[in-house]
Amino acid sequence: MMDKDDNGLEGVVAAHTVLSEVDGAAGRLVLRGHAVEDIAGRWRYEDVLALLWQDFFAPLPAASDLAQALGRARAEVATLLRADDRDVLADLPPVEAMRALLARLPDGDDLPTALRLVAAPVVFTAAVLRGKAGEAPVMPDAAAPHAADFLRMVSGRPATQAQAAALDAYLVTVADHGLNASTFAARVVASTGAGLASAVLAGLSALKGPLHGGAPGPVLDMLDAIGSADAAARWLEAALDRGERLMGFGHRIYRVRDPRADALKKALRELARVGGVEAGRVALAEAVERAALASLQARKPGRVLETNVEFYTALLLEAVGLPREAFTAVFAAGRVGGWVAHAREQVQRGRLIRPQSVYVGPAAEASPAGTSLPVR
């Protein structure tokens, strides 16, 4: 019988995949043969799509051609925006509004469908953010790189090369990460033959849960509350005294430092080098990181609680001009490429996902012959 602690499927293998390997003990994330720290900051997101999608779409264009096709897909998706969207979606959080808009895309299993699904989060998130600010959407530039065009559609002005490179580094680091909750949800739906749009919507619905994709924003709340580097240790100790969790530290899989955190820290430093980040903000973050790791090691010596991807995600997305309430939607903009790849892999190589459950409810009640059970 399944132990009650097994209800999270810990240690259960549900898929064989060529897409990514998460080695929690060694602190490694490998995307189809490439360590994430080797490609983050060097590859564009479009290059990672070409890597993840190979063998799943035939024929798959070269990365440069795929980038152009993705640009055209952004322009196609923008035609789905309506004049009354701002009024209808104004009160929804960005990820909820983006999910509602994403449902306008038809299902399918071909490359054009996949490209529209990758294009949709950036087009819709940008439109929602501008609508909340009382501004009209900025239409996509089909010739622009994906990350740069996203930032331009949000702000209404061209992104700097450093800003686009920083966002690309983020999108690459979160493109795929094993069989996490949202990816598993996408694979379950894909296994039914429902189509890529249905699988992506399932993944997005799982990602918006606060235990999965909702943590980067509160990292900034923590930094704002601390305020200065010399207050970090005192503030963090008080938070731990109250039994609070320190946002941006610890991970369910990694038993050592999250490799994505180092990749994003490097990208943030590169952005700071060209003046794209306030120096004091970076200094505060590094002071908080040092103090938090010291406090956690002293208080919880039996647990490994290292910096995770959320800590430097928050700082990087803030630095490129994205508001914290949109961070989960931006996470989806990166992870959608992985959801699509997993959905296609499941359809091609897997079968209907149908695990067993163990019934632990009350035994069936026996009823005398000729009588019926009471209506309840």
3-state SS assignment for residue 336: helix
Q: In DSSP terms, which residues pair with 280 in a beta bridge?
A: none
Q: In the chain, what percentage of residues exceed pLDDT 70?
A: 93
Residue in the structure block whose two tokens are 């994709």: 213
Q: What is the DSSP string of 171-187?
A: HHHTS--SS-HHHHHHH
Which tens digit of pLDDT belongs to each residue from 121-172? 999 999 999 999 999 999 999 999 999 999 999 999 999 999 999 999 999 9
Which tens digit of pLDDT belongs to each residue from 226-284? 999 999 999 999 999 999 988 888 766 656 678 888 899 899 989 999 999 888 898 89
Q: Could you give the CA distance from residue 223 to residue 219 in angstroms, rounded to a whole number?
A: 6
- Catalytic annotation, residues: 251, 310
Closest C-alpha among 258, 248, 249 to residue 300: 249
Which tens digit of pLDDT belongs to each residue from 77-118? 999 999 999 888 989 999 999 999 999 999 999 999 999 999
Residue 1 scores a pLDDT above 50: no
First-to-last alpha carbon distance for the chain, in angstroms, is: 31
* pLDDT of 301: 84
Which segment of 191-205, 253-267, 353-367 scores lowest on mean pLDDT? 253-267
- DSSP-derived secondary structure letter, 208: T
Record the tokens describing residue 350, joined without a space.
Answer: 């897997």
Nearest 5°: phi and psi at 35?
A: -65, 135
Average pLDDT of span 285-297: 92
* pLDDT of 335: 98
Confidence class of residue 214 from pLDDT cuts 50, 70 and 90?
Answer: low
Q: Could you give the CA distance from residue 224 to residue 327 in angstroms, rounded to a whole number?
A: 17
Nearest 5°: phi and psi at 28?
A: -130, 140
User: In this structure, is the dihedral angle defined by the CA atoms of residues 313, 326, 253 and 55, taken in order, positive or negative?
Assistant: negative
> Please, are residues 52 and 121 in contact by the beta-carbon 8 Å criterion?
no
Nearest 5°: phi and psi at 249?
A: -135, 135
* Element at 90 (helix H, strand E): none
Residue 70 scores a pLDDT above 70: yes
Q: Could you give the CA distance from residue 317 to residue 198 in angstroms, rounded to a whole number?
A: 28
Which tens digit of pLDDT belongs to each residue from 311-329? 889 999 999 999 999 999 9
Residue 188, CA distances (Å) to 65, 198, 338, 343 in order: 31, 10, 14, 8
How many CB atoms neighbour CB 232 within 10 A? 24
3-state SS assignment for residue 307: strand
> Please, are residues 341 and 52 in contact by the beta-carbon 8 Å criterion?
yes
